[in-house]
Amino acid sequence: MRQNWTLCCTAHRPSARLLRAFEAAAFPSWARWFAAARPEHVLLARTQSGSIAGTLLLEGPGADSVFTPMLGPAAATISSGGVAPSLHGQGIGTALVVRASQILSQADVRACHIGWTTRESFYRRAGYQPWRRYAMYSSPPDCPCGHRPSRPTFRAPNVIRLPAAHQLPGKPEPP
């Protein structure tokens, strides 16, 4: 199958207006995070026609995270990775995660945290492993009293990459 998309970093190809429009349409709950992100923290995939196919945020080392005390200053984060629904199944999401991991590895990141994931198997295929799990609760939509269900609606794993010799995906193992 021919690849009809390419990866690029917005630091090299500014497109803030297109990025805001894509996030607002495809992932509105993430739009504020992308609007606040520095350009070098945004990785995106574009179709051959130039439209945005997928996006991802990355930061590190020294990412401002509540997990820094546990993971150390050489830790990084990847978040808000998503692909336009019409383009699912083409390897775009995997390419974004692997490329972000390579960029962070080249910056001497020793651990990479991805929080509040909903597709654990996807990140496992990219070399990440579950680290912590959090139960997410929500009120039923028709419950005006705000009653909380007695069971979690789903469990959101946080995944982390702490491979042998502290290698992230895409960085060759030392000899």
Q: Which of 17-26, 38-47, 161-170 has the lowest mean pLDDT?
A: 161-170
> Can you name the CATH fold of 5-166?
Aminopeptidase (3.40.630)
pLDDT at 121 over 80: yes
User: Domain coordinates of the chain in residue numbers?
Assistant: 5-166
Token output for 138: 């929500």
For 139-152, write each residue's pLDDT tens digit: 555 555 555 555 44
